[in-house]
């Protein structure tokens, strides 16, 4: 069985490697309406 790994999502290659935190969610929520 061949499993294709996506290249867009980084994965830890070595034990102990840490992922950067996800990018911040911006812009934020719309409070009234979209212009």
Give contact residues for other proteins (rule: CB under 8 A).
10-14, 16-33, 35
Q: How far is the CB of 4 from other proteins (least distance, A)?
A: 19
Identify the residue whose tokens are 């290249």: 7
Q: What DSSP character marks residue 13?
A: S
Cα–Cα distance for residue pair 2/25, rounded to 1 Å: 35
Q: Which lies closer to other proteins via its Cβ, residue 1 or residue 7?
A: 7
Cα–Cα distance for residue pair 5/2, rounded to 1 Å: 10
Q: How far is the CB of 5 from other proteins (least distance, A)?
A: 14
Q: Which lies closer to other proteins via its Cβ, residue 1 or residue 33?
A: 33
């Amino acid at each position: 069985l061949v499993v294709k790994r996506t290249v867009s999502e980084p994965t830890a290659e070595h034990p102990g490697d840490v992922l950067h935190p996800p990018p911040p969610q911006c812009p934020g929520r719309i409070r009234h309406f979209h212009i």
